[in-house]
Structure 1
Amino acid sequence: MDRNTFTGLFLIMIVFAGSFYFFKPSEAEIKKEQQRISADSARKAGVTPDSIAAPLAAAAPALDSAALKGPFGANLTGEQSTSVLENEKLKLTFTNKGGKLLSVEVKNEKTYKGDPLILFQGDQNKFGLNLNIGGKITSTNDLYFAATKSSATSMTMRATYGAGKYVEYVYNLKPKSNNIDFNINLNGLNQVIQGNSISLNWETVLLEQEKSVKNEQRYSAPYYKYAEKNPDHIGTDKDVKEELTEGKIEWIAFKQHFYSGVLIPKDGFQKGDLEVKVSTEPGKVKWYGANMQLPFNQLASQNYAMSFYFGNNKFSELKSQGHEIEKLVEMGYWPIKYINRFVVLPVFNFLEGFGWNYGLIILVLTILLKVVLSPLTYKSYVSMAKMRILKPEMDEIKAKVGDDNPTLLQQEYLKLYKQVGVNPLGGCLPMVLQLPIVMAFFFFFPNLFELRGESFLWMNDLSTYDEFVKFGFTIPFIGDHLSLMCVLMTISTLIYTYYNNQISGATGQMKYIGYIMPIIFLGVLNDYPAGLNYYYFLANMLTFGQQFLIKKMVNDDKIHAILKENKTKPKEEKKKSKFQSRLDDYMRQQQQTKIQTKKNK
Structure 2
Amino acid sequence: MDRNTFTGLFLIMIVLAGSFYFFKPSEVDIKKEKERLTADSVKSAVTINAPNTVVPVATPTLDSATLKGPFGNNLAGKEAVSILENESLKINFSNKGGKILSVQVKGQKTYEGKPVILFDGSQNKFGLNLNIGGKMVSTNELFFVATKTGTALSMKANYQGDKFIEFNYDLKPNSNNLAMKINLNGMNQVIQGNSISLNWETILLEQEKSVSNEQRYSAPYYKYIDHDPNHLNVAKDEKEELKEGKIEWFSFKQHFFSAVLIPKSPFEKGDLEVKVSTKPGEIKWYAANMQLQFNQLASQTYPMNFYFGTNKFSTLKAQGHEIEKQVDMGYWPLKYINRFVVLPVFNWLESFGWNYGLIILLLTVALKLAMSPLTYKSYLSMAKMRILKPEMDVIKAKVGDDNPTLLQQEYLKLYKQVGVNPIGGCLPMLLQLPFVMAFFFFFPNLFELRGQSFLWMKDLSTYDDFIKFGVAIPFIGNHLSLMCILMTISTLIYTYFNNQISGATGQMKYIGYIMPIVFLGVLNSYPAGLNYYYFLANMLTFAQQFLIKSMVDDDKIHKTLQDNKAKPADQKKKSKFQARLDGYMRQQNQLKQKKDS
Smaller-chain TM-score bracket: over 0.9
> Relative to structure 2, which stretch is displaced further, 219-228 or 585-594?
585-594
Residue of structure 2 in register with 1:145 after alignment:
144
Q: Distance in 2 between matches of 1:567 and 1:578?
A: 17
Q: Is the 8 A contact 2:93 2:102 kept in 1?
A: yes
Residue of structure 2 in register with 1:53 after alignment:
none
Task: Classify 1:322/1:404 alpha carbon distance in 2 versus 1 (closer, same or farther; 3 Å).
Answer: same
Q: Distance in 1 between matches of 2:231 and 2:63?
A: 42
Q: Distance in 2 between matches of 1:193 and 1:279?
A: 36
Q: Distance in 1 between matches of 2:433 and 2:4?
A: 31
Cα deviation code 1:541-583 (max 9, x no counterpart): 0001100110011000000000000011122497999976884
Matches within 5 A, 1:414-425: 414-425=412-423
Q: What amino acid does structure 2 have at the position aligned with 1:173?
A: L
Q: Distance in 1 between matches of 2:569 and 2:252?
A: 64
Matches within 5 A, 1:365-444: 365-444=363-442
Please state how far the C-alpha of 1:66 moved relative to its aligned partner. 1.1
Q: What amino acid does structure 2 have at the position aligned with 1:16?
A: L
Q: Distance in 2 between matches of 1:523 and 1:218?
A: 17
Task: Classify 1:445/1:68 alpha carbon distance in 2 versus 1 (closer, same or farther; 3 Å).
Answer: same
Task: Classify 1:559/1:473 alpha carbon distance in 2 versus 1 (closer, same or farther; 3 Å).
Answer: same
Cα deviation code 1:428-476 (max 9, x no counterpart): 0000000011111111111111111010100000100011101000010
Task: Classify 1:409/1:546 alpha carbon distance in 2 versus 1 (closer, same or farther; 3 Å).
Answer: same
**1:16 to 2:13 alignment:** no
**1:351 to 2:349 alignment:** yes
SS of the residue corresponding to residue 190 of structure 1 reads helix
Q: Distance in 2 between matches of 1:335 and 1:506?
A: 31
Residue of structure 2 in register with 1:308 after alignment:
306
Give unmatched runs, 5+ long, in structure 1. Answer: 43-59, 597-601
Q: Distance in 2 between matches of 1:175 and 1:210?
A: 28
> Relative to structure 2, which stretch is displaced further, 545-554 or 18-27?
18-27
Q: Distance in 2 between matches of 1:590 and 1:15?
A: 44
Q: Distance in 2 between matches of 1:302 and 1:329?
A: 35
Q: Distance in 2 between matches of 1:322 and 1:23?
A: 51
Task: Classify 1:592/1:192 alpha carbon distance in 2 versus 1 (closer, same or farther; 3 Å).
Answer: farther
Q: What amino acid does structure 2 have at the position aligned with 1:481?
A: H
Please state how far the C-alpha of 1:406 moved relative to its aligned partner. 0.5
Please state how far the C-alpha of 1:14 moved relative to its aligned partner. 3.3
Residue of structure 1 in register with 2:318 after alignment:
320
**1:551 to 2:549 alignment:** yes
Residue of structure 2 in register with 1:476 after alignment:
474
Task: Classify 1:585/1:297 alpha carbon distance in 2 versus 1 (closer, same or farther; 3 Å).
Answer: farther
Q: Is the 8 A contact 1:77 1:144 kept in 2?
A: yes
Q: Is the 8 A contact 2:89 2:176 kept in 1?
A: yes
Please state how far the C-alpha of 1:347 moved relative to its aligned partner. 0.7
Q: What amino acid does structure 2 have at the position aligned with 1:364?
A: L
Please state how far the C-alpha of 1:357 moved relative to its aligned partner. 0.5
Q: Is the 8 A contact 1:407 1:591 kept in 2?
A: no
Matches within 5 A, 1:51-450: 66-67=65-66, 69-151=68-150, 153-450=151-448
Residue of structure 2 in register with 1:465 after alignment:
463
Q: What amino acid does structure 2 have at the position aligned with 1:444?
A: F
Cα deviation code 1:316-357 (max 9, x no counterpart): 111111111111211111111111111111111111111110
Q: What amino acid does structure 2 have at the position aligned with 1:128?
A: G
Residue of structure 1 in register with 2:524 after alignment:
526
Q: Is the 8 A contact 2:260 2:308 kept in 1?
A: yes
Residue of structure 2 in register with 1:49 after alignment:
none
> Relative to structure 2, which stretch is displaced further, 109-118 or 567-576?
567-576
**1:505 to 2:503 alignment:** yes
> Relative to structure 2, which stretch is displaced further, 584-593 or 269-278?
584-593
Cα deviation code 1:96-141 (max 9, x no counterpart): 1111111000111110000111000011111111111111111111
The counterpart of 1:570, out of the listed 560, 568, 571, is: 568
Q: What amino acid does structure 2 have at the position aligned with 1:398?
A: K
Task: Classify 1:501/1:566 alpha carbon distance in 2 versus 1 (closer, same or farther; 3 Å).
Answer: same
SS of the residue corresponding to residue 214 of structure 1 reads helix
Task: Classify 1:453/1:37 alpha carbon distance in 2 versus 1 (closer, same or farther; 3 Å).
Answer: closer
Q: Distance in 1 between matches of 2:596 and 2:283?
A: 65
SS of the residue corresponding to residue 248 of structure 2 reads strand
SS of the residue corresponding to residue 84 of structure 1 reads strand
Please state how far the C-alpha of 1:159 moved relative to its aligned partner. 1.4
Task: Classify 1:37/1:82 alpha carbon distance in 2 versus 1 (closer, same or farther; 3 Å).
Answer: closer
Task: Classify 1:246/1:322 alpha carbon distance in 2 versus 1 (closer, same or farther; 3 Å).
Answer: same
Please state how far the C-alpha of 1:13 moved relative to its aligned partner. 2.7
Please state how far the C-alpha of 1:16 moved relative to its aligned partner. 2.5
Q: Distance in 2 between matches of 1:142 and 1:397?
A: 86
Q: Is the 8 A contact 2:376 2:548 kept in 1?
A: yes
> Relative to structure 2, which stretch is displaced further, 577-586 or 177-186?
577-586
Cα deviation code 1:67-98 (max 9, x no counterpart): 56254233222111111110011000111111
Q: What amino acid does structure 1 have at the position aligned with 2:73?
A: A
Q: Distance in 2 between matches of 1:527 and 1:505?
A: 34
Q: Is the 8 A contact 2:128 2:139 kept in 1?
A: yes
Q: What amino acid does structure 1 have at the position aligned with 2:177?
A: N
Residue of structure 2 in register with 1:3 after alignment:
3
SS of the residue corresponding to residue 462 of structure 1 reads coil
Q: What amino acid does structure 1 have at the position aligned with 2:409?
A: Q
Q: What amino acid does structure 2 have at the position aligned with 1:89?
A: S
Please state how far the C-alpha of 1:5 moved relative to its aligned partner. 3.6
Matches within 5 A, 1:582-593: 583-584=584-585, 587-588=588-589
SS of the residue corresponding to residue 167 of structure 1 reads strand
> How many residue pairs end up in the alignment?
576
Q: Distance in 2 between matches of 1:377 and 1:74?
A: 76
Q: Distance in 2 between matches of 1:270 and 1:564?
A: 73
> Relative to structure 2, which stretch is displaced further, 455-464 or 566-575?
566-575
Please state how far the C-alpha of 1:220 moved relative to its aligned partner. 0.8
Please state how far the C-alpha of 1:194 moved relative to its aligned partner. 1.0
Q: Distance in 1 between matches of 2:443 and 2:342?
A: 10
RMSD, aligned α-carbons: 2.3
Please state how far the C-alpha of 1:8 moved relative to its aligned partner. 3.0
Q: Distance in 1 between matches of 2:296 and 2:231?
A: 33
Q: Distance in 2 between matches of 1:412 and 1:587?
A: 12
Task: Classify 1:65/1:564 alpha carbon distance in 2 versus 1 (closer, same or farther; 3 Å).
Answer: closer
Q: Is the 8 A contact 2:202 2:287 kept in 1?
A: yes
Q: What amino acid does structure 2 have at the position aligned with 1:381?
A: Y
- Percent identity, aligned pairs only, is 74
Q: Is the 8 A contact 2:334 2:438 kept in 1?
A: yes
Please state how far the C-alpha of 1:30 moved relative to its aligned partner. 4.8
SS of the residue corresponding to residue 165 of structure 2 reads strand
Give unmatched runs, 5+ long, in structure 2. Answer: 46-60
Task: Classify 1:544/1:506 alpha carbon distance in 2 versus 1 (closer, same or farther; 3 Å).
Answer: same
Task: Classify 1:252/1:18 alpha carbon distance in 2 versus 1 (closer, same or farther; 3 Å).
Answer: farther
Task: Classify 1:577/1:368 alpha carbon distance in 2 versus 1 (closer, same or farther; 3 Å).
Answer: closer
Q: Distance in 1 between matches of 2:577 and 2:343?
A: 44
Q: Distance in 2 between matches of 1:507 and 1:595?
A: 34
Q: Is the 8 A contact 2:421 2:577 kept in 1?
A: no
SS of the residue corresponding to residue 480 of structure 2 reads strand
Q: Is the 8 A contact 2:416 2:578 kept in 1?
A: no
Q: Is the 8 A contact 2:259 2:308 kept in 1?
A: yes
Task: Classify 1:459/1:401 alpha carbon distance in 2 versus 1 (closer, same or farther; 3 Å).
Answer: same
SS of the residue corresponding to residue 455 of structure 2 reads coil
Q: Distance in 2 between matches of 1:202 and 1:27?
A: 34
TM-score by length of structure 2 reads 0.92
Task: Classify 1:584/1:177 alpha carbon distance in 2 versus 1 (closer, same or farther; 3 Å).
Answer: same
